[in-house]
Amino acid sequence: MKIYKYSLLIIITILMLFKVESAKSTPNYSKDIAPIIYNKCTNCHRAGEIAPMPFTNFNEVKNYGQMIKFVTSSKFMPPWSPNSNYSNFLGERVLSQSEIDMIKDWVDGGMPQGNMEDEPNLPIFPEGSQLGKPDLVLKMSEKFLHKGNNQDQYQVFVLPVNLEENKKIKAIEFRPDNKKIVHHAILGIDTTSIAFELDADDPRYGYEQFGGFGFEPLENTWAGWAPGSFARFYPADIGKNLYKNSVILAQIHYAPVTNDEYDQSEINIFYDKENQIKRNLLTTAITPENLFEEFKIPANKVKSFTGVLNVPIDISLVSVLPHMHLTGQLWEILAITPNKDTINIIKIDKWDFNWQDFYYSNKLKKIPAKSKVYAKATYDNRAENPNNPNQPPKDIYWGEGTSDEMYICYFNYVPYNFGDENLDLTTGVEQNLVYSNQIISDNIFPNPTIDYLNIKLNENVEIKEVMLELYSQFGQIINDNFSFEIDNENKLLELNCKNLTSGIYYTKIKIRGQEKYLRFIKI
């Protein structure tokens, strides 16, 4: 009898512990799910951005809990096309397996909210931009009517700059107004009057032109936008030129619709206010040889095309944007050096027309002179392809329509400088928004500095909580020649920069699991 009582007691104890452990293991929104959603999803899932529904609070996320579980478990969301095992890029929108499991367990556990005090503040997202307040906004001067005739339309709009002086540019952000019809945009820049003459010859606003701008402007591909693109500051000392007497040419491809639609898109431009830019970002592209004569994808066939780019000088590859349409299936782009070494650039195993971007490498890729860059694109023109615009399939050729096809891959690059391949763009030169500013502000002064640099902290921060690292502009960590302390009375983090040599630096501050990079200049 005594053994039975002890055995029963042990069983009850185990069951109680199991129950407690089970309760503990169920994630809740405030503590476990909100940090994932706010950092990986809300940038798109908020008012004015590309996603169809907002994820900015508990109720909005809970209403779509089952859907979120499905699209994250299947890795359909967050959208990220490049194969991360082939090459890596900045801002990879990929959930870890533990984050995916956390979402699944939360949904399966009934989606509890938890303690609202544990929920992090919603990140401060800029309105009308993904990057912040622009220095110059160029908006189409009037709304353009895209007729509901079920036809594609390519229209070039001439946007005068009207600046008093030339500017160096750190970011260019195209903002589509009517996302229903704006298929993609290519931006050029010019200093002649030719575009105005072409505009005057077309009775509508802008002028119709497929395959470029109708003439050879100063730069054919000054910038661009495609569905799913994210704005990004150019890395390190790299940027673009904007000339005071220039015009921006915006060639916008409008997709077919059955009802009349209007668009009045705009361009946000961010200046290099700190004279950081030393190198102008250049653009080139790969298309297949004998493009217009031989670009044909037969009905009910899978076909591949390969383009080759000869590299005449040592270059540093900054970013890459492959472009194709609905029957596109995959890309693989790599470089073969004169020594027969292979440099992986990008591989997309499952093309998604709705998500295209300039993908920026987390390190500049050195491509030696006399290398060859190969870009292989594969198209699936079979009935089994659910994205095929033609059922039954028919032969597809290069063309301006969404149901036609294209093959083009853009490359942004600069001439190689010694040490480019060692520049780690993830350690501070990466300038996109860091949503951890609840403790660490952007208030850094004086900047430029001679001796001391001050960073404003929140009132409740203690010195023992602060971790700080210093990086050169080339991403190299600096362990010596600097020190810091906290002014508790004024809540300032003070960096002693006296022993630093003149140049550009980045400081990484970490407090309570939050971290932020801030840029400063020592003179």
The residues with which 304 forms a beta bridge, in sequence order, are 378
Separation CA 428–CA 434 (nearest Å): 11
Neighbouring CB atoms inside 10 A of 79's CB total: 17
The pair of three-digit structure tokens given for residue 157, joined into one six-digit string? 């709009």
Q: How far is CA 136 from CA 106, 161, 169, 249, in A?
A: 44, 9, 10, 15
Angle at 79 between CA 75 and CA 84, to 5 degrees: 75
Length of the chain: 523
Walk along the chain (523 residues) in steps of 10 and give the mean pLDDT of each run: 52 51 72 89 80 87 92 85 88 86 93 88 76 92 95 94 92 91 90 94 93 86 81 86 93 92 96 88 81 81 93 91 92 96 95 83 90 95 93 90 87 87 60 39 74 74 69 68 73 83 76 64 79
Quick one: CA dihedral 201, 203, 206, 207, positive or negative?
Answer: negative
Can 136-280 and 436-522 be said to share one CATH topology? no
Q: How far is CA 502 from CA 79, 280, 422, 481, in A?
A: 41, 23, 20, 12
| pLDDT (0 to 100) of residue 163 | 92
Tokens 């209403």 — which residue? 63
Q: Which residues of 314-324 are buried (b: 16+ CB within 10 A; e: fewer)?
A: bbbbbbbbbbb
Angle at 364 between CA 361 and CA 369, to 5 degrees: 125
Domain positions in the chain? 25-118, 136-280, 283-422, 436-522
| pLDDT (0 to 100) of residue 429 | 36
Nearest CA to 359 among 348, 368, 370, 369?
348
CATH architecture of structural domain 136-280:
Sandwich (2.60)
Crossing angle for the helix pair 97-108 and 65-73, nearest 10 degrees?
150
Separation CA 246–CA 163 (nearest Å): 9
| pLDDT (0 to 100) of residue 434 | 33
Nearest CA to 448 among 278, 274, 277, 276?
274
Separation CA 479–CA 482 (nearest Å): 8
| pLDDT (0 to 100) of residue 388 | 94
Tokens 């399939």 — which residue? 393
End-to-end CA distance of the chain: 85
| pLDDT (0 to 100) of residue 109 | 93
| pLDDT (0 to 100) of residue 435 | 33
Residue 142: DSSP 8-state: S
Separation CA 133–CA 125 (nearest Å): 11
| Radius of gyration (C-alpha) of the chain in whole angstroms | 26
Strand segments (E) across 352-479: 359-367, 372-380, 396-397, 408-415, 440-445, 452-457, 466-472, 477-478
CB 384, CB 324: distance < 8 Å: no
- pTM comes to 0.67
| pLDDT (0 to 100) of residue 93 | 80
CATH architecture of structural domain 283-422:
Sandwich (2.60)
Report CA dihedral (352, 355, 357, 363) to the nearest 10 degrees. -80
Which alpha helices (H) appear in 391-434, and where do they start and end? Answer: none
| pLDDT (0 to 100) of residue 474 | 55
The yes/no answer on whether domain 436-522 falls in CATH 2.40.340.10 is: no
